[in-house]
Amino acid sequence: MAQAMKIAIVDDEQDMRQSISQWLALSGYDTETFSSAEDALKVLGPDYPGIVISDIKMPGMDGIQLLKKLMGADSTLPVIMITGHGDVPMAVEAMRVGAFDFLEKPFNPDRMSELAKRASSARRLTLDNRALRRELSGGTQIMNKLIGASPVMERLREDILDLGQADGHVLIDGETGTGKTLVAHALHAVGSRAGKKFVLVSCAALEEEALSKRLFGPMLPEDTQLPAIEEARGGTLVLEDVEALSDTLQARLLSVMNEQGTPAETRIVAISNLQEAGKTSEDVLRPDLFYRLAALRITMPPLRQRGEDILTLFTRLSEQFAEEYGCEAPQVSAQEAAQLLQAPWPGNVRQLINIAERAVLQSRRGSGTIASLLMSDHEEMQPVMTTEGKPLKEYVEAFERMLIDNTMRRHKGSIASVMDELCLPRRTLNEKMAKYGLQRSDYL
């Protein structure tokens, strides 16, 4: 038998929590109770193996706010809201925000069991599909290349898995070096076209005439290569820097897409490069092409908006380089961590890779600082700071997470050694690891 579904019960009234929990436990569910939305959020995440039943009226964060947060993290999570008797506006609001259903006080236990059953089977289906997709995707390897656990990264992984399965054309946009090309590879690798052709054309690299020929032909008898649109038939055609296509070629591309009908035989993944701050793909593409492409869209977040990921990426990448060069990875001080977090990163992940490599080489020589590397990347030598300030809490948390992560790694998951080195009681260490999503099993 499959493992019992979990049911998280969120209610500030103890009697209520207990009676719901007892009733559902009798029906074979694995229940857990929370006395506040804040507590529940510590446990409930995108892959929660169960469903949620929550009261609406609670002190502190109320049920609707909780629901919004949960929907933001995983819009498929079934959440059943408890409303006061006859409180129609509340029930309507809950449904509008994305509740699975609502339960009116006082409960009818049969209706509760019935709802729990429906919600659980919906949940089981979603989770099974996800697991299956992850398993099927020979793309595991490429997905593992994507470093980062910030909410935007988690969302990106889900998007890749979802869009990888879909049939429509895709538009990927974002600043330079944010990982657009990597994501285009991942989309192909995790989808049903994985075994088929993957053809990548850089539209900025060729002159109009050569580009037109490369994309659409016609080819001369002595040409050994098919036009890209033919070559990619049945697979994926990636058009990098699609905004560099002239108006004429954009129109030609559109008509080829229209001829293909739906579902398209060849999936087109268009990548547009947003160099100028504030520009969107909408500004740089013909509107008709934009609308045709933008139904499925992935916008890559700039590195400076990825918070703690900056430190995760930096430490992982410098470890990789350290291994390559046969030396120790540099330790990042609190001050350096703050500088990494505050740097504007105009070259995004690519720039970070570059800095990590130079930091490793530098530490091997025993000279230089990360700050000087960051400075030398900016000719004008302005103070290396983003204009978007971040709250102090965010720096402190990102740094704390990095310290625990690094220390766990060095001690290969030995909790005792980490407690000792960081002078933390076990309970505090456990709580912090849970808060930052760090798992001991990852370090053993």
Ligand X SMILES: Nc1ncnc2c1ncn2[C@@H]1O[C@H](COP(=O)(O)OP(=O)(O)OP(=O)(O)O)[C@@H](O)[C@H]1O
* Contacts with ligand X, residue ranges (CB under 6 A): 145-148, 174, 176-182, 273, 349-350, 353
Choose between 241 and 336: whose C-beta lies nearer to Mg ion: 241
- CA–CA dist 159, 17 (Å, integer): 35
Return d(Cα 115, Cα 74) in angstroms, integer: 19
Contact partner, 349, from ligand X, Mg ion, none, Cβ < 5-8 Å per class? ligand X
CB contact burial 43-81 (16+ within 10 A = b; e otherwise): ebebebebbbbbbbbbeebebbebbeebeebbebbbbbb
> Which of ligand X, Mg ion, none binds 260 (CB below 5-8 Å, type-dependent)?
none
Tokens 């690094």 map to which residue? 406
Nearer Cβ to Mg ion (286/350): 350
Q: Per CB under 5 A, which of residues 106..145 are in contact with Mg ion?
A: none
Task: Calculate ∠ Cα 245-246-249, nearest 5°.
Answer: 75
Residue 176: name its binding partner from Mg ion, ligand X, none (Cβ under 5 to 8 Å by kind).
ligand X
Distance CA 177, CA 200 (A): 17
Length of the chain equals: 444
Lookup: tokens for 324: 């390559």
Phi, psi of 269 (to 5 degrees): -110, 110
* Pick 58 or 244: Cβ nearer ligand X: 244
Q: How far is the CB of 381 from ligand X (least distance, A)?
A: 24
Contact by Cβ (8 Å): 53, 20:
yes
What's the order of all strands across the beta sheet hosting 296-299? Answer: 198-202, 236-240, 267-273, 170-174, 296-299
Give the span between the Cα atoms of 180 and 373, in whole angstroms. Answer: 25
The amino acid at 325: Y
- Min. distance of Cβ 304 from ligand X in angstroms? 14
Instruction: For the CB of residue 350, give the shortest distance to ligand X in the complex, in Å.
Output: 4
- Pick what 438 binds: ligand X, Mg ion, none; C-beta below 5 to 8 Å, kind-dependent: none
Smallest gap, in angstroms, from Cβ of residue 273 to ligand X? 5
Partner whose footprint covers residue 145, from Mg ion, ligand X, none (CB < 5 to 8 Å by kind): ligand X
Which residue matches tokens 């350290």?
322
**CB of 19 or CB of 181, closer to Mg ion:** 181
164 binds, among ligand X, Mg ion, none (CB under 5 to 8 A by kind): none
In the complex, the smallest distance separating the C-beta of residue 165 from ligand X, rounded to whole angstroms, is 21
- Computed on alpha carbons and rounded to an integer, the radius of gyration of the chain in Å comes to 26
Residue 290 or 345: the one with the smaller Cβ distance to ligand X is 345
Peptide bond into 301 cis (omega under 30): no
260 binds Mg ion (CB under 5 A): no
Q: Which is closer to Mg ion, CB of 180 or CB of 304? A: 180
**Closest CB 202 distance from Mg ion, rounded Å:** 8
State how far the Cα of 423 lies from the Cα of 440, in Å rounded to an integer: 18
- Residue 150: CB minimum distance to Mg ion, A: 21
Q: Tell me how far, at minimum, the Cβ of 349 lies from ligand X, in Å.
A: 4
Inter-CA distances, 177 with 243, 318, 380, Å: 16, 18, 21
| Closest separation in Å from C-beta 200 to Mg ion | 9
Residue nearer to Mg ion on the CB measure, 177 or 191:
177
Residue 301 binding result from ligand X, Mg ion, none, given CB thresholds of 5 to 8 Å by partner type: none
| Nearer to Mg ion (CB atom), residue 77 or residue 313 | 313
Which of the ranges 69-77, 179-187, 328-336, 389-397 carries the binding residues for Mg ion, by CB under 5 A?
A: 179-187
Q: How many helices (H) and strands (E) does the chain have?
A: 20, 10
Q: Which is nearer to ligand X, 63 or 302 (CB)?
A: 302
Which residue of the chain is nearest ligand X when measured via CB?
Answer: 179
Q: Which is nearer to ligand X, 9 or 343 (CB)?
A: 343
167 in Cβ contact with 262 (< 8 Å)? yes
State the binding partner of 178 from ligand X, Mg ion, none, CB within 5 to 8 A by kind: ligand X
- Residue among 35, 181, 362, 430 that touches Mg ion (CB under 5 A): 181
Backbone φ and ψ for 51, nearest 5 degrees, come out as -125, 175
Please report how close the Cβ of residue 187 comes to ligand X at its closest, in angstroms.
12
Q: Out of Mg ion, ligand X, none, which partner does residue 191 contact, by CB within 5 to 8 A per kind?
A: none
If DSSP codes are grouped into helix, strand and coil, which group holds residue 286? Answer: coil
Please report, as a single letter, which amino acid is at residue 266: T
Interface positions with Mg ion (CB under 5 A): 180-181
